């Protein structure tokens, strides 16, 4: 456990998955949480299931609505008088070959997964720098460390988030603000079910890798421990997924051969959603 007493964390995408787990763990360890997302009923459910709902504040908004960010930041700060931690967790994935994917899908995923966290970070950054302390947590992905098939838009956005975070970290390190990039692999969430198809429709089906993935509660504890340890980047993955960032750094040709073989062996066809009814 990490003592979070007296701290306030703002978590986007807090209505499910990793965001929900992060909120519950943070509140259980004594902190106050601001829960953001679009589904108010689900945000209220998560808050009600924490150990201290009175230390939770529901702040619903669409992360793509950049015009409201100044107001959202003001409301977030007003909850306890400060925001210590921002977790940019809201995101959307993809399951489609590039050749089939409408450009609107690229626009949507880059907007949600890259521009939205950048916009919110930029809006809150003056507050963090003024108070001389703060923690930014960027939820990227193993797909943000290496390109993987059926996720060209997702990989582009998550790679971009890593680049933004690395550059920002260097600028604010001497001003008390820390930046942690998290690169999860398969985690048991709705990420695959909510992913976009080539035409922008919602996939509506999960897949075996996600269904057998890491428990989001375990992921949350790893993240909060990494913050306590002052880590700057962590990969949370198992098996082959854990090896992908290592190969990308140490032996990229081996990785390129591996993912090309995946496609040649019918990976796209195997990932086609099956009827879950």
Known catalytic residues? Answer: 154
Q: Which residues contact 272 (CB under 8 A, 6 or more apart)?
A: none
Of the candidates 66, 67, 77, the one whose C-alpha atom is nearest the C-alpha of residue 9 is: 77
166 and 181 in contact (C-beta within 8 Å)? yes
Residue 103 · residue 35 · CB < 8 Å: no
**Strand order of the sheet with strand 8-12?**
56-58, 32-36, 8-12, 85-88, 134-139, 177-184, 233-236
Q: Give the CA dihedral 247, 248, 253, 254, nearest 10 degrees.
A: 20
- What 3 state SS string does 10-45 have? EEECCCCHHHHHHHHHHHHCCCEEEEECCCHHHHHH
Distance CA 66, CA 86 (A): 16
For the chain, how many residues are written?
A: 277
């Amino acid at each position: 456990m990490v003592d979070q007493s007296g701290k306030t964390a703002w978590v986007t995408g807090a209505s499910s998955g990793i965001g929900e787990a992060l909120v519950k763990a943070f509140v259980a360890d004594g902190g106050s949480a601001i829960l953001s997302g679009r589904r108010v009923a689900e945000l209220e459910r998560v808050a009600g299931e924490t150990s201290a709902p009175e230390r939770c504040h529901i702040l619903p908004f669409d992360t793509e609505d950049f015009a409201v960010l100044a107001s959202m930041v003001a409301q977030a700060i007003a909850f306890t008088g400060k925001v210590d931690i921002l977790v940019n967790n809201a995101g959307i994935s993809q399951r489609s070959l590039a050749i089939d994917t409408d450009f609107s899908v690229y626009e949507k995923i880059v907007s949600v997964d890259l521009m939205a966290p950048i916009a919110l970070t930029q809006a809150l950054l003056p507050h963090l720098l003024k108070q001389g302390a703060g923690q930014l947590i960027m939820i990227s992905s193993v797909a943000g460390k290496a390109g993987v098939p059926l996720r060209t838009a997702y990989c582009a956005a998550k790679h971009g988030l890593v680049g933004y975070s690395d550059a920002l970290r260097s600028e604010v390190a001497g001003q008390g603000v820390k930046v942690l990039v998290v690169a999860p692999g398969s985690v048991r969430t709705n990420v695959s079910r909510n992913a976009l198809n080539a035409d922008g429709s919602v996939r509506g089906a999960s897949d075996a890798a996600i269904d057998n993935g890491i428990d989001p509660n375990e992921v949350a504890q790893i993240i909060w421990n990494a913050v306590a340890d002052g880590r700057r980047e962590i990969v949370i993955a198992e098996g082959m997924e854990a090896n992908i960032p290592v190969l990308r750094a140490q032996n990229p040709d081996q990785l390129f051969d591996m993912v090309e073989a995946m496609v040649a062996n019918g990976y796209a066809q195997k990932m086609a959603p099956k009827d879950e009814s």
